[in-house]
Structure 1
């Protein structure tokens, strides 16, 4: 709806956004509403009246060329579900403001930041932040299906890459490339063969040429393996680290904001230093489930302590596997 109002007075864009809204209502099985909206949109003025708007094809979420490689991500989280450092919060607010004034910025001959690289260990909020960022922008989010994008046939991976970048050029959206290191691995690595080097060369070219109407976001847990030429292709690099004790305390209070507790969850933050957000979330969920299992109304400190022990056991097993490999 924000996009619809923002496009008022620009007939082609207004119609395109209206078509997208109608398509969404049809997907939700609101067929009566969709039919009424489409009839209203199509009922143009009389022949003697003003010239009707130029007809546009409906926005297609998955053009044939890219449908095998991207999937729509429906937002299920809000800003209340994420706890970011002060520096990352400042960067995201700046990007939102810049996007909303993009036309004014471009009229001054200045570039708008639209290519972002998210770096940091797993479970620290990269994917969640991309989803919430897309929602705040009012743009659809499409995730690249990396397993299908990377082809076993020589030459096809670069061709598949071209299709998703063509898609991002035409469709205003947030295009999310997770596990980016699988595509952008350093060409200096002696273990990589010529085909993967050609993929990196193509990737660099496509990122350079891309002028998205939304954002390209790439995320990696292995930033040290990225090709050195990749870094300067991105307008902004955002680092996601494991939370410190203050951020953990804020996150715990967020997770328990609608849950009755018999203790102050904030006092447990110090015991979770070194954990990722994903690990802390598992601790919280396990502690809350204890109240359901035991048919109690409140979470007790012993529930939380037991959940921490479970997560520590899980972590120690993972560390053992890592050391063996």
Structure 2
């Protein structure tokens, strides 16, 4: 509540604090209150009240785009993600630009709003997009590629146009995951004319759109992207596997609400090469093992038991991947 009062008059911060309050109430299963707060937040801006006139309200879904876009309520904060120093600087700079957009535009300067996230699976691209939206106080929308990509000739490009039109009108973070499914290189053998037409349309849409918030595309397969895609984005942000320092920080945070009888940081070196998704599974399994053991503390044995399972899973996955490469 103190944060809410302190953010009075600063639109983005105000919305971010309200989103956090709503998320907290949802975690407590106070769903009636959460829904009421959500409805009130979405209606802000309908009446030109002086204190809230600058807050952007949610634009109703146009019927033609509702099947392709899903709203996702951010459930994580900046405390739940570990970023490299380089990426942290990038996001701080982007947030600063967004919050002072009018000031930049008065000087004839544009605001960076089209971002491409690249990196291996499990390195935090989707989580980062969600946290980024929460920090900005913008609603977070996920593009449903399974619905967007149509089996009918010509429809996919039309669906993309409708999605981009929504992003132009609605201040939000619009997130395309597995972007390579849409933006695959037109030079790859076997790609048919329909895909080429889709990529051509996508290039035009990205070039021309000036989103009210941010357009973020993420891919694990950047080597498959069409070469012309890269220069359409204002920034390309690379997500790498965490180093030992980042692993140690992640483990400390993962067990911050648990009583532990060991130092998880000592395993950081052994966990080099693990993604954040791998580390999350490892920590969750450790907690489960502790609970099932009836222990009041998480100890070294619980962690080592979960680690053996993680190593076995990674070994099997490597064998499967190796079979694909040689098959």
Fold shared by both chains (TM-score > 0.5): yes
**Counterpart in 1 of 2:63?**
64
Structure 2 unpaired stretches of 5+ = 12-21, 23-30, 50-56
C-alpha change, 1:92 and 1:285, in structure 2 (3 Å) is same
Query: Any conservation in 2 of the 1:178–1:220 contact (CA below 8 Å)?
Result: yes
| d(CA) in 2 for partners of 1:4, 1:204 | 40
Q: Residue in 2 aligned with 1:263? A: 262
Residue of structure 1 aligned with 2:36, choices 15, 30, 39: 30
4+ long deviations beyond 6 Å: 1-4, 41-44
CA distance in 1, matches of 2:229, 2:187: 13
Question: Alignment partner of 2:216: what SS?
Answer: strand
How many residues were matched structurally?
A: 292
Does the C-alpha gap of structure 1 residues 178 and 4 become closer, same or farther in structure 2, counting only changes over 3 Å?
farther
Q: 1:6 offset after TM fit, Å?
A: 4.7
Q: Is the contact between residue 157 and residue 198 of structure 2 (CA under 8 Å) also seen in structure 1?
A: yes
Shift of 1:190: 1.4
1:29 is displaced (CA, Å) by 4.6
Structure 1 residues 28 and 299: alpha-carbon distance in aligned structure 2, compared to 1, 3 A threshold: closer
SS at match of 2:171: coil
SS at match of 1:118: strand
Query: Which residue number in structure 1 is paired with residue 123 of structure 2?
Result: 124
Deviations 1:84-108 (A, max 9, x none): 1000000000000010011110111
Match of 2:228 in 1: 229
Please give the per-residue CA displacement for 1:58-84, whole angstroms capped at 9, x wherever unaligned.
743422121000000101001111001
Provide the C-alpha distance between the structure 2 equivalents of 1:166 and 1:321, rounded to a whole number of angstroms.
41
Gaps of 5+ in 1: 8-20, 45-57
Report the TM-score when normalising by structure 2.
0.84
Pick closer, same or farther for the CA change 1:257–1:28 going to 2, 3 Å: closer
Structure showing greater Rg: 1
TM-score by length of 1: 0.84
Indicate the RMSD between aligned Cα atoms, in angstroms: 2.5
State the Cα distance separating 1:27 from its structure 2 match: 9.2
Counterpart position of 1:159: 158
